[in-house]
Structure 1
Amino acid sequence: MLKTLLISALVILVVIAIATYLIATHVLPYAILQPGHKTSDQTPAAFGLPYEHFQFQVTDSIELDALYVPATTEVPRANLIMLHGVGSCKEVYLGSVAVLVKMGYNVMLWDQRAHGKSGGKFLTYGYFEKHDVSKAIDWLEARNPGLPTGIYGNSMGGAVALQSLAHDDRLEFGLIESTFTDLASVSNAYGQRIGGIPLPWWLTNYVVRRAGEIADFEPFTVRPIDAAKEITQPIQLIHGNADRNINISNAHALFESLASEDKDFYIVEGGDHADLWAVGKEPYQEALFGFFRRMVEGGNE
């Protein structure tokens, strides 16, 4: 009887081990790399704004679906790139764009790789996307010579923005919301939140490593906290202290690591990951738009 129970237990353990291996190798990496395609047909015209809708070529095989909304002031004062988070799309920011163009910003935004209406099979959390940002700066500078360019990024977009600020010093300022310190840590945290139990690091590191093999990138080098140490441009960080997706400890660590002497950290009391506008209300909006207003009124000099 005991021998039978031991054999049964061993079989169960082997089955669990095989199932875990198959899921970690062939399922979970794609949850990191292919977050889904949220799309929207809304355009800036819904806000009474002129715009250009075009396909933005970033590699021989990848085009990104982009919008360019010019400033509505008599003289444009700056360019701004806006980057959305995982599973989102560019159109979620059109309400903010309507405010920013009145400040004098020419705004460029696109569906990031493997998102929305853009091409690209995999998301790499900034490893390749920072080069997309550099190509966007090329486009904006050719279109608007002599204007400074800034960047906004939310969540995954914030991680891309931080890496872009370190990678390309043509970016003169940035506002970063609700982002993480490094891909390995946030993957472990997400896994624990979704699974409801602590996950061993060896397992999440295996999944992250496997994602890198599939998408041909080096995931353990995706570390916005290292990028922060190289950033000297003016930076505004915003994070909710009730964020269940990316704990606010990430923002504290990023803020401490930033090399910039012109940096600020605004905490939205009670703010979760996707409700900062609703929870933070006017004080949050002032932190957001106040930073961008300062950047075009000479406060970044």
Structure 2
Amino acid sequence: MGREDYQLKKLKHKKLWFTLIVIILLVCLSFVGAGYYFFTVACVPGEKSFLSSSSNVIKKSDPLYHEKVWFKKTPKEKWYMLSADGKYKLDANYIPYKNSSKTVIVLPGYTDTKEDAGIFDALFYELGYNTLTPEPRAQGESEGKYIGYGWPDKDDTKKWVSYLLRKKGKQQQIVIYGISMGGATAMTTSGLKLPHQVKAFIEDCGYTSVKDEIEYEAGALYNMPAFPRFPLVEILSGINKLKVGYFMGDASSVKQLNKNYRPMLFIHGSEDHFVPTKMIYSNYQATRGPKEIWVAPKAKHAKSFSVHPKEYKKRVASFLAKYVK
């Protein structure tokens, strides 16, 4: 091979490597760009096209008509508190029940407000409880830049417990209830060191971890195959670490439940295709304390109460009667 041929071959190799490097960089940039897009969709407050919009009109045909009317007419106290990290002003409703020393902290779901959770205020008020319903960071009237999927909110919930005890006295008996993202918040809160006044937890359709839920949604909502879903979720998790402060895999209900010894009632709809029903079994197995489980027949995501209002009340009341006097 002549020197000229050798130089030509060497130049072709360089061009090939350069082309491969450019392609790899473009692929990486496209993944990062897609990661930022999905971070915006998942974590930045705003309208979410994948969520069904709820109407403010209360229809008499609604199985929870009376609960919604009661909530709308009932006076509420406005409570405010700084988030656990001191960055944001958080907003809450407090509804007192006569002279009761029993309080349920009601944790709303993903993008939900304290008004959306009003049906659960009605449920627990009927059972003789005060209710404290704080809005998570970046939802409703609470300040915040990003939706935290319950992980930073667990520390806020612990602070709400302390705030409640200071405001209403140490004789309080406290239950923590959450729906959907709020259910995950309740479960992750259960793994923290909490005052003895926290007597029990109820979670409805919470996920096993933020990463599990994001991976599932990527497949279910966008029909995304395993590749590129896996690397995309990892990039999204890294962006979440930079922006929100945690890797999504660390935000695990299962790991937190492994540290919980308090009683917990687990509820999930059998037809839940947003947070898959199978997640309830991993969560149920993980907790160390007394526990009960109910998979509500034919109920979709966060609809167990509306599909089975009487059974829901009965099961909640029966569970709480064992641990709150």
Same fold (TM over 0.5): yes
Q: Distance in 2 between matches of 1:45 and 1:276?
A: 20
Tell me which residue corresponds to 2:175: 150
Other structure's SS at 1:209 match: helix
Shift of residue 121, structure 1, vs aligned partner? 0.5
Q: Distance in 2 between matches of 1:14 and 1:231?
A: 45
Other structure's SS at 1:89 match: coil
Tell me which residue corresponds to 2:235: 206
| 2:314 partner amino acid | E
Aligned residue runs from structure 1 range 1-301, under 5 A: 18-24=29-35, 26-36=36-46, 46-58=71-83, 59-72=85-98, 75-145=99-169, 146-170=171-195, 171-200=198-227, 201-260=230-289, 262-296=290-324, 298=325
Identity of aligned residues (%): 20
Shift of residue 106, structure 1, vs aligned partner? 1.8
Q: Distance in 1 between matches of 2:138 and 2:175?
A: 24
Shift of residue 14, structure 1, vs aligned partner? 8.1
Q: CA 1:280 to 1:45, structure 2 compared with 1: closer, same or farther past 3 Å?
A: closer
For the 8 Å contact 1:36–1:114, the answer to whether it is kept is: no
Q: Distance in 1 between matches of 2:117 and 2:254?
A: 25
Residues 122-164 of structure 1 show CA distances to partners (whole Å, capped at 9, x for unaligned) of 1223332111112111111112221111100111111111111
The aligned length equals 286
Q: Distance in 2 between matches of 1:244 and 1:12?
A: 37
Q: CA 1:147 to 1:54, structure 2 compared with 1: closer, same or farther past 3 Å?
A: closer
Other structure's SS at 1:167 match: coil
Shift of residue 103, structure 1, vs aligned partner? 2.9
Q: Distance in 2 between matches of 1:148 and 1:18?
A: 52
Q: Which segments of 5 or more consecutive residues in structure 1 lack a partner in the other structure?
A: 1-9
For the 8 Å contact 1:47–1:98, the answer to whether it is kept is: no
Other structure's SS at 2:208 match: coil
Q: CA 1:63 to 1:13, structure 2 compared with 1: closer, same or farther past 3 Å?
A: same
Q: Which segments of 5 or more consecutive residues in structure 2 lack a partner in the other structure?
A: 1-19, 48-52, 58-67
Q: CA 1:237 to 1:267, structure 2 compared with 1: closer, same or farther past 3 Å?
A: same
* TM-score computed with the length of structure 2 as normaliser: 0.79
* TM-score computed with the length of structure 1 as normaliser: 0.84
For the 8 Å contact 2:45–2:145, the answer to whether it is kept is: no
Q: CA 1:132 to 1:203, structure 2 compared with 1: closer, same or farther past 3 Å?
A: same
Q: Distance in 1 between matches of 2:320 and 2:114?
A: 19
For the 8 Å contact 1:44–1:69, the answer to whether it is kept is: no
For the 8 Å contact 1:124–1:219, the answer to whether it is kept is: no
